[in-house]
Structure 1
Amino acid sequence: MRTPPTDQSARHGPSRADATAGSRTSHRPGGSRRSGEGPVMFTAAQRATVVPPEPPTRPRLSLTAVRATRAVLDGGWWPRSRDPVAELPGLILALNERYGPVRQLMLNSHSWDGHFRRLAVGSRVVRAGWFSTVDPAMLIATTERGDQIDLLVVPPEVPAATADIAMATAADPSNQLRAPDVLATSRTAPTAARGEGVDPATVWDNEGGHSAREVPSRPHIPGEPVSTDST
Structure 2
Amino acid sequence: MTSASASSPSPAPLPAPREVRLRLAGPTPHGRTARRIDGAWWPRSDDLAEELTGLLGVLPHDWGRIDSVLVHGETWPDCPAQLVVAGQAVHVGHNDSPSAPHTVCLLAPGQGRYDLLVVPPATAVEEAGRLMERAVTQGV
Considering the TM-score relative to the shorter chain, is it more than 0.5? yes
Q: Is the 2:23–2:132 Cα contact (8 Å) retained in structure 1?
A: yes
Seen in structure 2, the aligned counterparts of structure 1 residues 128 and 122 have a Cα distance that, compared at 3 Å, is same
2:114 to 149, 155, 160: 149
* TM-fit CA distance, 1:141: 0.5
Q: Compute the displacement of 1:84 (Å).
A: 0.4
Q: Secondary structure at the match of 2:45?
A: coil
> Where does residue 121 of structure 1 map in the other structure?
85
Tell me whether 1:81 sits opposite 2:42 in the alignment: no
The partner residue of 1:168 within 109, 133, 136 is 133
2:20 aligned to which of 31, 50, 59:
59
Q: Which residue of structure 1 aligns with residue 70 of structure 2?
A: 106
Alignment deviations for residues 61-96 of structure 1 (CA, whole Å, 9 cap, x no partner): 000122453122111000011110110011111225
Of the structure 1 ranges 113-122 and 131-140, higher mean CA displacement relative to structure 2 is found in 131-140
Instruction: Identify the range of structure 1 (115-124 vs 67-76) with the bigger mean alpha-carbon deviation.
Output: 67-76
Q: How many angstroms apart in 1 are the aligned matches of 2:61 and 2:18?
A: 15
- What SS does the corresponding residue of 1:158 show, helix, strand or coil? coil
Segments of 4+ in structure 1 off by > 3 A?
Answer: 54-57
2-structure distance, mates of 1:161, 1:86 = 24
**1:95–1:102: 8 Å Cα contact kept in structure 2?**
no
**Structure 2 counterpart SS, 1:171:** helix
TM-score, reference length from structure 2: 0.77
Which sections of structure 1, spanning at least 5 residues, go unmatched? 1-53, 178-231
Q: How many equivalent pairs are there?
A: 122
Structure 1 residues 87 and 160, CA, compared in 2 at 3 Å: closer, same or farther?
same
CA apart distance, 1:146: 4.0
Letter in 2 for 1:124: Q
Contact 1:106 1:129 in 2 (8 A): yes
Give secondary structure in 1 for the equivalent of 2:58: helix
Q: Alignment partner of 2:59: what SS?
A: helix
- Mean Cα deviation higher: 130-139 or 82-91: 130-139
Cross-structure match for 2:101: 136
Greater share of residues in strand: 2
Identity %, equivalent residues: 28
The two structures, once aligned, show a CA RMSD in angstroms of: 2.1
- Post-superposition Cα deviations, 1:42-78, rounded to whole Å, max 9, x if no partner, equal xxxxxxxxxxxx9863310000122453122111000
**Scaled by the length of structure 1, what TM-score is found?**
0.48
Deviations 1:136-167 (A, max 9, x none): 21111011324110110001111010101111
